A and B are shown apart, each in its own frame.
Chain A
């Protein structure tokens, strides 16, 4: 495959990343160590998995804010089921969580398609419904370190080829997502409906099928991420995670993916996530408190969306388009 040229946005993100890494490694000798890198990859993995799904949803012209709720509900329910049945097996946990996530994603897609609703409102609603269903009928009590199934601990510590297993999973998922988006007719249909649903319909694209895939894929990845997340932290607390969805969306948007759909790249999403994760976990090396985190991320988000919009206006002007 011929490598495509980097987009302007990607170049800009890569330069920020490199500049930041140089600054941090000059200031703190501890930064460029195998341990730090290992931790960084491990903590980024969950976000990367979610970002793959978010990327696909945004390209299709929608938005999903229910994925953290899906991750928690499916992760927590499947761990409770594990404990109840006494099946201490990580594959069982992953499969059950993935299936629950998939089903919840299908619910999102069906509501969006059949009631022709805005994807934001729909997923805002379902996010509360999913989460509320869990807290009301399944429970909210934390699972202590002593009760947590051993397989989750093992999964959290596992490595493959010297890399965290989580990270390998995230890479595999990103490759699969890339393949779907760029190498399959289904993927191109996702781009097409993000460009114009009406035109896609006229080209003979099955809108229902495409949307079902997009949202159930997002759900499936959320379910997997739920287990990854609960394996990474010691105490399983089902009220964490929910509320962080906008940060994941922000990471993907920083990567140059349009909120209005039809355009976006895997590399952009990866760069966006990397920037957010590196800031989050390395500000301490610069001797800065974590409160700097929000400030930095906010600035980067604003600068990158302004940059995208500026470039688009410039190119529009060259083509004598003044509408936007």
Chain B
């Protein structure tokens, strides 16, 4: 293979005695798109960080165009033409969009002085290249996650890299932005740049990759060309078992209302929202980012009080103005961003799980019963099947899928009547995904009311017996069980989401 740009041989790495990678070898060819596939926690991100110099491998050797390294630093990696879009984006939140985009290029050029005109020019050029429109002077902390992802992508593209690693670059992007990104990736390939693409979305993997390397539990399962695999065989290699999602069917005949929302409005966010969730219902809410779905969910949880309208819990009017009150009404929320809103990353699984029910675990003196706390945590970790059953482990050491299981578990222990899940499987691997679905469906069958907010039509269709589609703060379509059972429903939802205003013309 004369076209190999980078080849890593027998890379091993362990953290605190846990073997994250074992003898993994990988070759990256010039001008090819390689996908790294594997479940969360399998070691993909670790491998990327070793190849970009953030971590040093315990063993193994990296060969970049004939130069051999046993350890890389981020600076040498950048100088060798390696650019990475990290999963956590690695942006500077108090600095502007322009400076974030231009940062890598500035550091690389080794210029001593800063030229602000040039920074703005670089940023503008990169944003134009991917067709995004952002305020160059806005600080990153004011941006949505999706826009931050765009900034991180622009930054990595600003240097004419030889190899570009993209660690789940599309998690927060809408379909349109994903398509644009994928076409940029294909354009890079044509220019002879190698791309290593990491994604959980199998359709993206097959859409762009030339070859696929599968990693499972820190070991390489194999290198495949993308023709050799199909979604089914790929997920088999990734998880080591057959994966299929069972479609939810409402079994619970109990038809009591859990939640009824009447004319709920908040200026600039959502308007005249009406829907009901009955026992055993799984209501799906979809629509593009910015459709007001998250804002509305936050209102139900007391974080974003509405201006007008009524919320009825079990047919009684409820004024929910804080999460504390929401919890008293039996509402739970799995937030959109689990890292900043759903978890205490620096604390143990135990602390995270039991924090929602400390009141129940305390005795009359207000002292928490540690034994009960421990038992609850152990039961929950088993119940949601976290891969590491150690309840004293800091949750930041868990993979995305397992972290999400902890968030799920921490709310399940409160035994909610209504559970709102905002994009529950973003950055979650297929294995964990199906386990989370199972858990959700089981709870609904036992009478819980559930709302799932999601971008993934497959996710909505697999789990929901009712669906509403939102656009610019309004409900544009309501689909009941009967309509969801029709064959063309997937395409219909897709068309409504992406063309909510043209819908009238289509159907007329």
CA distance A201 to B93 in the complex (A): 15
Known: A185-B112, A185-B114, A203-B74. A315 touches B92 (CB 8 A): no
How many of B's residues come within 8 Å of A, CB to CB? 35
Check B107 for interface membership: any CB of A closer than 8 A: yes
Interface 9-mer from A26-34, A97-105, A186-194? A186-194
Check A164 for interface membership: any CB of B closer than 8 A: no
Query: A199 to B303, Cβ gap below 8 A?
Result: no
Question: Which of A187, A191, A320, A321 lies in contact with B92, CB distance below 8 A?
Answer: A191
Query: B92 to A199, Cβ gap below 8 A?
Result: yes
Query: A202 to B75, Cβ gap below 8 A?
Result: no
Q: For B112, what are the chain A residues with a Cβ–Cβ distance below 8 Å?
A: 184-186
CA distance A182 to B113 in the complex (A): 9
Query: B114 to A184, Cβ gap below 8 A?
Result: yes
Q: For A159, what are the chain B residues with a Cβ–Cβ distance below 8 Å?
A: none
CA distance A191 to B93 in the complex (A): 11
Known: A184-B114, A185-B114, A320-B304. A204 touches B93 (CB 8 A): no
Query: B91 to A199, Cβ gap below 8 A?
Result: yes
Question: Which of A182, A187, A263 lies in contact with B94, CB distance below 8 A?
Answer: A263
Interface 9-mer from B98-106, B213-221, B471-479? B98-106
Query: A205 to B107, Cβ gap below 8 A?
Result: yes
Query: B94 to A195, Cβ gap below 8 A?
Result: yes
Query: A202 to B86, Cβ gap below 8 A?
Result: yes
Interface residues on A, range: 20 to 34
Query: A262 to B93, Cβ gap below 8 A?
Result: yes
Q: For A206, what are the chain B residues with a Cβ–Cβ distance below 8 Å?
A: 75
Query: B54 to A201, Cβ gap below 8 A?
Result: yes
Known: A202-B54, A204-B78, A319-B142. A196 touches B113 (CB 8 A): no
Check B95 for interface membership: any CB of A closer than 8 A: yes
Check B259 for interface membership: any CB of A closer than 8 A: no
CB<8 Å pairs between A and B, sample of 28:
A182-B114, A183-B114, A184-B112, A185-B112, A188-B114, A189-B107, A191-B92, A191-B94, A191-B95, A192-B95, A195-B92, A195-B93, A202-B54, A202-B74, A203-B74, A203-B90, A204-B75, A258-B94, A262-B94, A262-B95, A319-B141, A319-B142, A319-B143, A319-B144, A320-B298, A322-B303, A322-B341, A323-B340
Interface residues of B (CB under 8 A from A): 52, 54, 74-75, 78, 84, 86, 90-95, 99, 103-104, 106-108, 110-114, 141-144, 294-295, 298, 303-304, 340-341
Interface residues of A (CB under 8 A from B): 182-189, 191-192, 194-196, 198-206, 258, 262-263, 315, 319-323
Q: A198-B90, A202-B54 are in contact. List 13 more A-B contacts (CB 8 A).
A: A184-B113, A188-B103, A192-B95, A199-B90, A199-B92, A200-B92, A201-B74, A202-B86, A204-B107, A258-B94, A262-B94, A263-B94, A320-B294
- Top 8 nearest A-B pairs (CB, nearest first) are A195-B92, A199-B90, A262-B94, A263-B94, A204-B75, A204-B78, A204-B107, A323-B340
